[in-house]
């Protein structure tokens, strides 16, 4: 579940300086074929995210992925570097 904290307004607390990220718990079976976790979908925050065991990445839930959401790595090189490589 996502908790939103409003701050820096009149009567509100100040914005915190150091916030540590929440730990994600992953339980992997001894066979390395099955795993479960407690990480929510980063898109809808209601369903459980999908853990890809071959690379350890958390993807959006199946429902959000069917709507077109996915985790991608953008190629930030300039257009001519992408052509030459």
Domain presence at residue 13: no
Number of structural domains in the chain:
1
User: In 10 A of CB 42, how many CB atoms?
Assistant: 15
Using the predicted structure, report yes or no on whether residue 3 has a pLDDT greater than 70: no
The predicted pLDDT at position 60 comes to 94
Domain presence at residue 20: no
Q: What is the pTM of this model?
A: 0.61
- In this prediction, residue 79 has a pLDDT band, given cuts at 50, 70 and 90, of confident
DSSP structure class, residue 77: S
The predicted pLDDT at position 5 comes to 67
Encode pLDDT of 27-77 as tens digits.
988 888 888 888 899 899 899 999 988 888 899 999 999 999 988 877 777
Domain that holds residue 65: 41-73
CA atoms of 85 and 77, how far apart (whole Å): 10
64 vs 20, higher pLDDT: 64
Domain presence at residue 7: no
Domain presence at residue 55: yes
Contacts of 5 (CB under 8 A, 6+ apart): 13
Domain presence at residue 52: yes
């Amino acid at each position: 579940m996502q908790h939103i904290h409003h701050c820096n307004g009149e009567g509100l607390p100040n914005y915190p300086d150091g916030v540590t990220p929440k730990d994600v718990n992953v339980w992997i079976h001894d066979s390395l074929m099955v795993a479960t976790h407690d990480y929510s979908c980063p898109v809808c925050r209601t369903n459980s995210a999908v853990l890809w065991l071959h690379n350890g990445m958390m993807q959006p839930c199946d429902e959000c992925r069917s709507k077109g959401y996915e985790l991608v790595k953008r190629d930030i090189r300039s257009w001519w570097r992408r052509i030459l490589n």
